[in-house]
Amino acid sequence: MKKRKGNPRSETLKVKIVTYTLLFAAAVVALFPFYLMFVSSTLSTGDILKIPPTLSIGSNLLVNLENLKDKINIGRVVFNSVFISVVYTFLTLVINSLAGYALAKFHFKGRNLIFALIMGTMMIPAQVLYIPQFTMMTSIGWANTFKAVIIPSLANAFGIFLMRQNMISFPTALIESARIDGFNEFSIFFRIVLPNMKPALGALGIYNFMTQWGSFMWPLIILSTNDMYTLPVALASLDGLMYKDYGMMMLGASISTIPVIVMFLSFQKQFISGLMGGAIKE
């Protein structure tokens, strides 16, 4: 006798149930630390250190906020981080896009060598550059300024690589047609090429914003006064030697995390599309 085949719809349903169950469990594991951080920002240190831990929202949020304001000028440091991150992100998008466009669509002697040298810089640890950068910024009078935080890393190898790989797939015929119609190179770039690079720009923008927002070591080295500190540097000063106010520290960490989460959720489609576009090879 022949064995009866299982119902394909039933098998598909079982696979979906197992898949979504595993994805839900993975999402819970990934998001639980964020939930615990946000909850802890509303608790006192005593409640945070309880065993078992408190998992419900407390009533100590305003107290933690007042303690945070007493320790650091939270409004000022948030403004510093927002200003630096936004300006840095905008300038990197422009500079890296121009460089990627030139390397993708212009044919000149040494193009591949220049691209290879740019990619080679990715193997240089950032820590190696801190001393020469600090010496340079001090010698030109930029120490303890926003310029010293923003400018040194504007042209980064990853951004140039991502934009070049996305622009390779852009039709060269459209660029040639625009040149025949009398457009100059900047008009072609800003009016024709760049509007079609929104996924890549979104991906690079998120990456650069998150990188600069969370940057700690270089701002710590080059910034020397409290009113110039970025949020990560200011939050590091909350870690006291004798007493640690974990509720206040968790509130500061929550404030630092929220903008990154909001930005990523807002542009996640562009982020994924831009990274996939960067996989296209010449």
CATH 1.10.3720.10 in the chain: give the residue spans: 63-277
In the predicted model, residues of the chain with pLDDT beneath 70 are 1-8, 240-242, 270-282
Pair of tokens at residue 37: 């951080």
d(CA 143, CA 137): 5
pTM here is: 0.82
Question: Can you give the pLDDT at residue 1?
Answer: 47
Q: Could you tell me what percentage of the chain is helix, strand and coil, using 3-state DSSP and rounding each to the nearest 5?
A: 75, 0, 25
d(CA 260, CA 271): 13
CATH code that applies to domain 63-277: 1.10.3720.10
Pair of tokens at residue 52: 């078992």
Question: Can you give the pLDDT at residue 282?
Answer: 45
